[in-house]
Chain A
Amino acid sequence: MSAATGHKRDYSLTGPERLRAMEKGLASAQWYTSPIPRKRLKELMQRRNGPAIRDTLIWFALLIGTGVLAFYSWGTWWSIPAFFIYGILYASPGDSRWHECGHGTAFKTPWMNEVIYQIASFMVLRPATPWRWSHTRHHTDTFIVGLDPEIAQPRPPVWRIILMEFLHLYGGPKDIKRMILHCFGIVDKEQRTYLPESEFRKTFWESRVYVLIFLSVIGLCLYAGSILPAMFIVLPSFYGVSLMLTFGLVQHLGLHEDVLDHRLNTRTIYMNPVFRFLYWNMNYHIEHHMFPMVPYHALPKLHEELKPDFPKPNRSVWETVKEVMIALIRQGKDPSYTIQRVLPATAQPYKYRPTSEEREVTDTMGRAL
């Protein structure tokens, strides 16, 4: 139940909240951006192939290395930690590579972004094209109820779904069902709110390729009389997602909904170098949302530039998990509960809503009238 309305809010993309957000001028709105000299921003936006090629080679080498260990440990107790590490290395970088390559900022060369995007999309079981558009909408309407398809949890939270997601048992089957529908040329109602028709054909063919791979893996398992082949491909997208989910849950949960300032609805978290490698610096999440053209390797430098305008970052993943869990428990009783972030004295004030001027000059799609 929301304190503001007295009703439980509808987080679907096809419900009444969508219209409400548009009427309030929250759709495709003008967001706050921190001041940064154009020259410096231009330097930080520069694309490079080197860091992403290096990181991709390390990632694949780690996957092959742990994969070999896992293969030889199969049938022993050692296979549990071996596959656990393999699964983490499969899904967590799968998610962050999907993300960065989807933005087209990881590599300088466009086809390299596209190749890794397609591979990583399969690894995290997301139909590549619809998810590209879903993420676009997430950036346009970050945490605006009724418009953002990527709000991780409603208020009050649904604990059953959070628990299921530690093995990807909620989102995974949902996306697989969508892939099967895509194979037959069907796009569901929710996806139609962000996926343009011009992208349908591509969506259908991508899903057909995914389903063909699933069938091949099932065939291989039947032939081998073992689930071992699936332990290396497809199943890690379920058993390996715990860290990826943790990273995902701490991005926005517990913070403000329906505001136009990423400092209010997004977290920047300091992480150790291993997590930063796996997550490709997406722990600098406010920075990324505010300036999505800055590649992952330049985000730490962007953070240094913007620090005086940002609330204090969380100091670790563990500290953030505790903060989010406490917030979710409190939202279970009081859905209006929101974590308040304090700005330093050097910062510009928060922007909560569109100014009357901004509301007047845009239509519901945010286009100038």
Chain B
Amino acid sequence: MLLEGWIYVCEADAIDEEDVIRFDSGSRSFAIYRSEDNDYYATDGFCTHEKVHLAEGLVMGDIIECPKHNGRFNYKTGQAKKTPACEHLTTYPVQVTDDGKVYIQID
């Protein structure tokens, strides 16, 4: 089922537990996370420090660590947690449908 105003990302099991994938839509890039409790989250795809895809980083609990300089964010709230990442990430609502599809709302 296509939810109004939401964009299809992937099948829910396409993201490993406690991991992240990159999702591009138009000219924008997002990072989509699955936590260890199997909840799904979405943030901007680029680190706020420099242009690096966060999806290449490491998920540790609530934290995504950037692959370039090890800056850290709480991906659930978008909050920057360790320098050189200082600016927060924008987060986006995520829905997983009953038939196991992940959608995000980006506007």
Contacts and interface: CB of A to CB of B under 8 A. Distances in A.
29 contacts: A28-B50, A42-B19, A42-B58, A45-B58, A46-B58, A103-B70, A104-B65, A104-B72, A110-B82, A132-B83, A132-B84, A133-B83, A133-B84, A136-B69, A139-B68, A140-B50, A196-B86, A198-B86, A199-B83, A291-B67, A292-B68, A292-B69, A292-B70, A365-B51, A366-B50, A367-B50, A368-B27, A368-B29, A368-B51
Interface in B35-70: 46, 50-51, 57-58, 60, 65, 67-70
A14 interface: no
Contacts of B51: 28, 362, 365-368
Interface in A86-124: 103-105, 110
B82 A104 contact: yes
Interface in A351-366: 362, 365-366
Given A28-B50, A110-B82, A368-B46, A139 B60 contact: no
Contacts of B68: 139-140, 292
A252 interface: no
Nearest to B81: A110
Sorting the interface of chain A by its residue count into under 10, 10 to 19, 20 to 34 or 35 or more gives 20 to 34
A139 B82 contact: no
A293 interface: yes
A18 interface: no
A57 B84 CA distance: 29
Most buried by A among B29, B58, B82: B58
Given A104-B70, A139-B68, A368-B51, A293 B58 contact: yes
A47 interface: yes
Given A47-B60, A292-B68, A293-B65, 18 more contacts: A28-B50, A42-B58, A104-B70, A104-B72, A132-B83, A133-B84, A136-B69, A139-B68, A140-B50, A140-B69, A199-B83, A292-B67, A293-B58, A293-B70, A362-B51, A367-B46, A368-B27, A368-B51
Given A28-B50, A367-B50, A139 B86 contact: no
A2 B69 CA distance: 31
A362 B51 CA distance: 8
Contacts of A42: 19, 58
Contacts of A291: 67
Contacts of A362: 51
Contacts of B70: 103-105, 292-293
The 8 closest A-B pairs by CB, nearest first: A366-B51, A45-B58, A136-B84, A136-B69, A367-B51, A104-B70, A103-B70, A28-B50
B103 to A, nearest CB: 23
A337 B46 CA distance: 38
